[in-house]
């Protein structure tokens, strides 16, 4: 890539501010024209940054671990010294493969899965070429297996989370890619990969080894592993690694990552690795999925985690134990109350917001509208055939309908989940106001019942059922009382 373009871009004050902000407590690695700079290194101030720019830096890379003193790295006499230097670590899932589109698909599936678990402190970044980085900040984690010092558990816990996600989601990832391409043979021909390399014996993954076309590099990481920083160039593509809003990963265009189009002000609401306190320690829900059932998971004073050779078997045992709890958790209001619907909700009793969405022509936010409808319809005991029929009718009303393959992939994902997924809260503008649902319509649902503030469309249906049940009981008691008096 052109040195002058890089120098001009990195000389921008707004870009320097973001690089400097991100560099705090991290080991920094820089790439010049064909060679890597010294390690360990840090960027502590504008002087450090400008010195690198004047030397012709092409790209910036940073550690996933955060350090008390990064410059002490490499001088440790034993592993305990490094553990004591480590302040924490961020979970970084590096999605990379033969196709930018495949990275988008896997990224979307992962984001949706995190949301289904109640993990919202997740952020997305375009890598600068064919992939994306998904991340959860260290502040979102608290304890693992009762151990307070989660900071000591890098990289093994990060690897185990990545392994769990690949095992849990291999079916929906494989099916979504196959639905897009038509067959394994088409993928083999398109990317010149031998057929025998793409086929496996795993029925759940539809006999397709998706790891041959896309990988999550977290599985391979070691301590002091570096990844491309936000606002750094990718030398191969000449594009910039920039934050991407989670709900736009499928719409993201590489055009946005050209240096002249990069504006940090546009990304302030979804900066990479920002921690939102309102979501609390939601990363713990990921740790709970891989927690070991015994007390022998740790040895030594530093709490070193032992890698288990039968991780897949243990994960399956843990996963089966948690399915029922997960099903209840995802149907909750977020305040501890679970909304389980009895029987089937008829269309005439749908909340006003859902009725509005079913009849609305979405200019923007069709995919978010689809997600809203699917979360509601699959939570009120409709069959998937009934859901598919209603969604088809909804899609035909759109001036620019979604592709049927996309809708089928979404339905397949919902079918694969261990529990029902609650619709978004009314307070989440991304799924209501920002896609065109009127505030007055939202207010009708929120204020539909006396003395109750309705939080989600499912909460509305749950409350309606309880209200109708109470009225029936009142009438029944009244008739019984009248019969006794006559």
Mean pLDDT of the chain: 84
With a cut of 70, say whether residue 486 has pLDDT above it.
Answer: no
**34 vs 388: which has the higher pLDDT:** 388
pLDDT value at 479 more than 60: yes
Over residues 312-335, the pLDDT tens digits come to 454 454 444 444 433 433 454 444
Residue keyed to tokens 């260290």: 138
pLDDT at 78: 77
Give tens-digit pLDDT for 91-139: 999 998 889 999 999 999 999 999 999 999 999 999 999 999 999 999 9
Q: What is the pLDDT of residue 309?
A: 41
- Mean pLDDT calculated for residue range 362-374: 88
Cα–Cα dist 399/214, whole Å? 34
Helix axes of 156-181 and 184-191: crossing angle, nearest 10 degrees: 100
Residue 293 pLDDT class (50, 70, 90 cuts): very low
The 8-class DSSP code of residue 307 comes to P
Does domain 3-288 sit in CATH 3.10.620.30? no
pLDDT tens for 230-248 read: 999 999 999 999 999 999 9
Angle of the 366-377 helix axis to the 404-416 helix axis, nearest 10: 40
| Domains of the chain by residue range | 3-288, 347-470
Instruction: Inform me whether the pLDDT recorded for 352 exceeds 50.
Output: yes
Greater model confidence, 259 or 305? 259
Per-residue pLDDT at 101: 94
Tell me the pLDDT band of 148, cut-offs 50, 70 and 90. low
CA distance 261 to 204: 42
Q: Assign 302 a pLDDT band (cuts: 50, 70, 90).
A: very low
Q: Of the candidates 108, 85, 84, which has an alpha carbon nearest to the alpha carbon of residue 95?
A: 108
What is the mean predicted confidence (pLDDT) over 275-283? 94
DSSP string computed for 157-213: HHHHHHHHHHHHHHHHHHHHHHHHHSSHHHHHHHHT--HHHHB-S-GGGTTB-GGGT
Q: Is the pLDDT of residue 7 over 80?
A: yes
- CB within 8 Å of 141: residues ≥ 6 apart: 150, 281, 283, 284, 287
**The pLDDT value given to residue 412:** 81
Q: What is the pLDDT of residue 417?
A: 67
What pTM, to 2 d.p., does this model score? 0.62
């Amino acid at each position: 890539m052109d040195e002058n373009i890089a120098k001009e871009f990195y000389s921008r004050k707004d870009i320097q501010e973001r690089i400097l902000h991100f560099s705090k407590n991290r080991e920094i690695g820089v790439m010049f024209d064909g060679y890597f700079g010294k390690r360990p290194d840090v960027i502590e101030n504008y002087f450090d940054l400008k010195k690198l720019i004047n030397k012709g830096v092409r790209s910036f890379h940073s550690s996933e671990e955060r350090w008390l003193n990064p410059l002490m790295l490499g001088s440790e006499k034993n592993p305990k010294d490094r553990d004591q230097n480590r302040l924490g670590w961020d979970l970084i899932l590096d999605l990379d493969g033969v196709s930018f589109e495949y990275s988008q698909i896997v990224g979307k599936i992962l984001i949706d899965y995190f949301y289904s678990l109640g993990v919202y402190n997740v952020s997305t970044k375009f890598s600068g070429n064919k992939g994306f980085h998904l991340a959860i900040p260290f502040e979102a984690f608290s304890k693992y297996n009762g151990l307070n010092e989660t900071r000591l558990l890098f990289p093994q816990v990060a690897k185990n989370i990545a392994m769990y996600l690949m095992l849990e989601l291999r079916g929906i990832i494989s099916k979504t890619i196959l639905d897009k391409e038509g067959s394994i043979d088409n993928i083999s021909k398109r990317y010149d990969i031998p057929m025998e390399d793409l086929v496996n014996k795993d029925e759940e993954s539809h006999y397709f080894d998706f790891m041959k076309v896309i990988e999550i590099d977290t599985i391979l990481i070691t301590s002091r592993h570096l990844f491309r920083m936000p606002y750094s160039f990718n030398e191969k593509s000449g594009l910039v690694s920039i934050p991407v809003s989670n709900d736009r990963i499928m719409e993201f265009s590489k055009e946005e990552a050209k240096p002249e189009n990069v504006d940090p002000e546009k990304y302030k609401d979804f900066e990479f690795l920002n921690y939102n306190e309102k979501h609390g320690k939601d990363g713990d829900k990921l740790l709970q999925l891989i927690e070991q059932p015994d007390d022998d998971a740790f040895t030594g004073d530093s709490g070193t985690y032992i890698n288990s050779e039968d991780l897949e078997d243990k994960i399956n045992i843990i996963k089966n134990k948690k399915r029922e709890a997960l099903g209840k958790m995802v149907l909750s209001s977020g305040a501890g109350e679970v909304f389980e619907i009895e029987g089937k909700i008829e269309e005439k009793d749908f909340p006003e917001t859902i009725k509005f969405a079913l009849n609305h022509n979405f200019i923007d936010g069709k995919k978010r509208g689809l997600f809203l409808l699917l979360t509601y319809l699959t939570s009120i005991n409709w069959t998937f055939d009934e859901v598919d029929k209603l969604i088809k009718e909804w899609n035909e009303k759109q001036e620019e309908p979604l592709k049927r393959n996309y809708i089928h992939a979404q339905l397949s994902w919902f079918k694969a989940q261990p529990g029902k997924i609650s619709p978004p809260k009314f307070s989440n503008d991304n799924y209501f106001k920002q896609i065109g649902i009127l505030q007055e319509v939202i207010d009708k649902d929120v204020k539909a019942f006396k003395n109750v503030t309705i939080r989600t469309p499912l909460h509305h249906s749950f409350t309606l059922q309880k209200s109708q049940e109470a009225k029936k009981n009142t009438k029944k008691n009244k008739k019984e009382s009248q019969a006794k008096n006559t």
